[in-house]
Structure 1
Amino acid sequence: MKSYLYLLVLIFVSMQFCAQSNKLQFKTTHGSFKVILYDFTPKHKKLILDAIKDDVYKDALFNRIIENFVVQGGEHDYDIAQREKDLPTNEHHRLAAEFDSRAFHKIGALGAGRDDNPQKASFLNQIYFVVGKAVSVTDLDNIEQKKSIKFTKEQRETYFSKGGLPRLDGDYTVFGEVYEGLDVLLKISKLKTNEKDAPLQPVFFEIIEIKE
């Protein structure tokens, strides 16, 4: 009976995510993968859809790659800092964080980068994908105690079965996930990099909205 109920839960969760409204294809120099955007993080969804229409990510690069951590692309932290260095803080444009228990840092999650601003607001033109690592019961228990948070049953089961980066939950906005071609993303995450985590060979990508 428990197995039957668990199967029903998995089917319900799968249907929930398949029903999301917008899907993207990431075409890279190492292959393509597909992403679903969450309807329950609407501001971040709109941000990237608008960015695609405005060619913000045209000839974009995955410019920071850390195996077992993230593959990051778009505007680099350094470039943002240089652009904003002479601007007052109130002119550092950010998007307010959108945290939802259904959006967490499992492997394949799509998140928005940010600096150390206290509001945890996102950069407008920087994204990352979680490649993460295995997660144990002890890992989650320690994070819960340290951050005074509580992982849901779904989060715990997903982290135990797939892995990820739970320590980032509640600090960075997740607004989508890879649903096809995860192997391409994982291959990119293993590319050789320099001391600044930049790949030795440029990894270009473009984003196309999938019309169904």
Structure 2
Amino acid sequence: MNRLTSLLLTLLITSTITSGCAPQDSMSNYFAIDTNHGRMVVIIYDETPGHRDNFSKLADEEFYNGTTFHRVIQGFMIQGGDPNSKDDDPYNDGMGDPGYTLEAEIKPELINRRGALVSARQGDQVNPERRSSGSQFYVVQGGQPLTEAMLDQSEQQISQALGSSFAYTDAQRNTYTTVGGAPWLDMQYTVFGELVEGFEVLDAIALAPTPGTTGQGDPRLRDMPLEKIEMTVTRLTDYTPSN
């Protein structure tokens, strides 16, 4: 066997071994969230590796399949991912998890813009480290585009809470004044991804009738859709964004 043939064979073997053992960070970060209202597609950020790996693991294990969006608030957000929502007791929805929480990965560059994918969590009183739920998340719907004055106020509130100066970048301000979001939640919750497709589905779920919007049903379930909105979450291995 001459040197060229030997080299080509070595490269072929190496390539085969490498492609058969792809590391986690080479896998797709795109996931489909399918509901009876249609499909949303999200991308999970590499900037939040703990949340990326956790969401990926749960999705690949089909943990989310059959859970619901148990809390929807028009103009604000939709929340889901609670394993308790798989049972027939609506009163325990929002209180479940996989048995663990996640260390916060809160970053100033990741904001609660329209379409942001964010970890839910317990309040500061019982969770001062702002650790994330192991599975529950919300997607920001947002209402109308925000004004500069609203963002100024948000900056002041965040700076006061942090005990240090906080300011949005020009790009972040442009995002909020163009597409909207929930800036009052910035620097409080871990933003770990965003919606890239299916904003009309997000809006449809946020508009789902609830006891709070219709006066029907149990007022204790104020923000729970009257009709169950179940989800199936799957990794998209061959997804290409349309824009």
Q: Would you call these one fold, judging by a TM-score over 0.5?
A: yes
- Which blocks of at least 5 consecutive residues in structure 2 are unaligned? 1-26, 86-90, 160-165, 212-218, 239-243
Shift of 1:81: 8.1
State the TM-score, normalized to the length of structure 1: 0.82
- Which one of 103, 122, 140 corresponds to residue 151 of structure 2? 140
**Residue equivalent to 2:22:** none
Q: Please give the alpha-carbon distance, in whole angstroms, between the structure 2 residues aligned to 1:45 and 1:83.
A: 20
2:53 corresponds, among 37, 46, 71, to 46
Contact conserved, 1:21 with 1:37, CA < 8 A, in 2?
Answer: no
Q: How much does 1:155 deviate?
A: 1.0
- Report how far residue 93 of structure 1 moved: 2.9
Gapped runs of 5+ residues in structure 1?
1-19, 85-91
Amino acid at match of 1:47: N
Indicate conservation of the 8 Å contact 2:67/2:80, yes or no: yes
2:79 maps to 1:72: yes
Secondary structure of 2:102 counterpart: coil
Task: Give the counterpart letter for 2:192 in structure 1.
Answer: F
Greater Cα radius of gyration, structure 1 or 2: 2
8 Å contact from structure 2 (residues 154, 184) kept in 1: yes
Which whole-Å CA distance do the structure 1 matches of 2:192 and 2:232 have between them? 18
Matched, 1:129 2:139: yes
Aligned to 2:198: 181
- Give the SS at the match of 1:44: helix
Does the aligned pair in 1 maintain the 2:70–2:94 contact within 8 Å?
Answer: no
- Cα 1:51–1:156 shift into 2, 3 Å: same
Q: Cα deviations across residues 118-166 of structure 1 (Å, max 9, x unaligned)?
A: 0111000101100012311111101111221211221111000100000
What is the aligned-residue identity percentage?
35
Residue in structure 2 matched with residue 211 of structure 1 by the alignment: 237
**2: CA distance, partners of 1:143 / 1:83:** 31
1:168 alignment partner in structure 2: 185
Q: How many residues align?
A: 187
Residue-by-residue CA offset, 1:105-127 (whole Å, 9 max, x unaligned): 01111000000110111000101
What is the CA RMSD across the aligned residues, in angstroms?
2.3
Q: Which residue of 2 aligns with 1:89?
A: none
Moved more, 162-171 or 142-151: 142-151
Q: Which residue of 2 aligns with 1:88?
A: none
Distance 2:147 2:179 in 1: 11
CA distance in 1, matches of 2:208, 2:122: 25
1:98 deviates by: 0.7
Find the counterpart in structure 2 of residue 33 from structure 1: 40
SS in 2 for 1:60: coil
* CA–CA distance in structure 2, aligned partners of residues 179 and 98 of structure 1: 21
Task: Write the letter of the residue equivalent to 2:201.
Answer: V
Greater percentage in strand: 1
Q: Does the aligned pair in 2 maintain the 1:101–1:152 contact within 8 Å? A: no
CA–CA separation in structure 2 for the residues paired with 1:81 and 1:185:
19
**What's the counterpart of residue 120 of structure 1?**
130
User: Structure 1 segments of 4 or more deviating over 2 A?
Assistant: 76-84
Cα 1:73–1:132 shift into 2, 3 Å = same
What is the deviation of 1:100? 2.2
Query: Using a 3 Å threshold, how does the CA distance of structure 1 residues 28 and 41 change in structure 2: closer, same or farther?
Result: same
Match of 2:103 in 1: 96
Q: Distance in 1 between matches of 2:44 and 2:96?
A: 29
How has the CA–CA distance of structure 1 residues 179 and 24 changed in structure 2, closer, same or farther, with 3 Å as cutoff? Answer: same
